[in-house]
Chain A
């Protein structure tokens, strides 16, 4: 499946092959890795492999710079999670971290080299009003004030309109479900919350159970309108599977849970593409069992064409892909710029696009 057109996929599947890249090939790899939000990830992979010092100096500075940024963002996320924890400390309900912030605080390999644009948490639907009120008391404001936007989020999506902290300018997405109310699939959030796990060293914060983390990642990937981060999300999935497969009877629990939560379709796609694109290790028996979520073959052919286009950056050309990349780049990187520079940034505030809601 991998080809020269997909240097990022090559880098992820076979870091050793990078030793023979020419400068022009490095150039293509760095550009594509930046576009797919995987530059820091690749930098850490090379570091683990011990081959970062052998990268030619010109591309290497970009890998090092990406590492520096990712580490700084991880620190920023830890601080922000501490603030959120402090604000919701007196709450009587569980606060479950999702996606990137969860991987980071749970010290999972999927967190390495990640760039963050916001933090996502899951709370019970009944606690939503309380959570919103408490967060606003602690300085978070709603960031979408137009009535249409408010309705869009509250009535149709699975989250509050994104919250922004007034002083720190950080973004927080509060979810009550992992899919929009209007979606076809309806995984039961109560079950997700009930199965959530505490984090060692953290008295209050929780994360999803491993099988639920995988299913959430799969659902996010295959039911989400923001196509820009698809390869990054697939890499997350590959990491999570690699880590959790070490647990006893993980695979059978995963299959069972997918059935229980009505998520067999996203799981089918997740395993299919992880294997085809990233060569993820999935036992053949598991793939057969996951077949239960298989779509009709015509739909599958269509999905293959669509997803492989967005998952393989080398194939991603043309209008759809440039739209996809556009949505990727408008998301701001998530470290504070000093107030003076926010005010008179070189590029001038008027020039900047409004950031689209992040994906953690």
Chain B
């Protein structure tokens, strides 16, 4: 079973998502699930990165894209946080890991 950080993630297709941001918080409506969600600052940014990515991304890729330290190895907490966010996205139907 691949460790969470080894998975590569894709969001639902961008045209299915309606997105609004106020003061660093986000509300998101997913046409595919019909559900609406409140995301915090980091969650919103992660989703934004996934929506605009051409390829599937790992949590390490996302940490880099977030503009933090260049070596994910030095930021295990941030990676773990992003992993948790991605798991939550999967539960909500906002993103899926790609089948290997």
CB contacts under 8 Å to A, within B29-82, are 31-34
B30 shortest CB reach to chain A, Å: 10
Q: Is A332 an interface residue (CB 8 A)?
A: no
Of B31, B32, B33, B34, most buried by chain A (CB within 10 Å of CB) is B34
Considering only residues 13-61 of chain A, those with a C-beta below 8 Å from chain B are: none
Residues of A near B34 (CB, < 8 A) are 75-76, 79, 336
Residues of A within 8 A of B33 (CB): 79
Main secondary structure of the interface of B (DSSP, over half): loop
Q: How far is the CB of A307 from chain B (nearest CB, A)?
A: 38
C-alpha gap A75/B16 in the complex (Å):
13
Q: Once bound together, how far apart are the Cα atoms of A76 and B32, in whole Å?
A: 9
Closest beta carbon of chain A to B71's beta carbon, Å: 38
Tell me the bound Cα distance from A17 to B34 in angstroms.
39
Residues of chain A within 8 A of B32, CB atoms compared: 79, 82
Instruction: Give B61 Cβ to nearest chain A Cβ, in Å.
Output: 27
Chain A residue nearest to B32 (CB atoms) is A79
Neighbouring B residues of A75 by C-beta, 8 Å:
31, 34
Chain B, Cβ-Cβ closest to A80 = B34
Nearest CB in chain A to that of B31: its residue:
A75
Chain B residues within 8 Å of A, Cβ to Cβ: 31-34
5 more A-B residue pairs beyond the given contacts A79-B32, A79-B34, A82-B32, with a C-beta to C-beta distance below 8 A: A75-B31, A75-B34, A76-B34, A79-B33, A336-B34
The 6 residue pairs across chains A and B that have the minimum distance between CB atoms: A79-B34, A76-B34, A79-B33, A79-B32, A75-B34, A336-B34
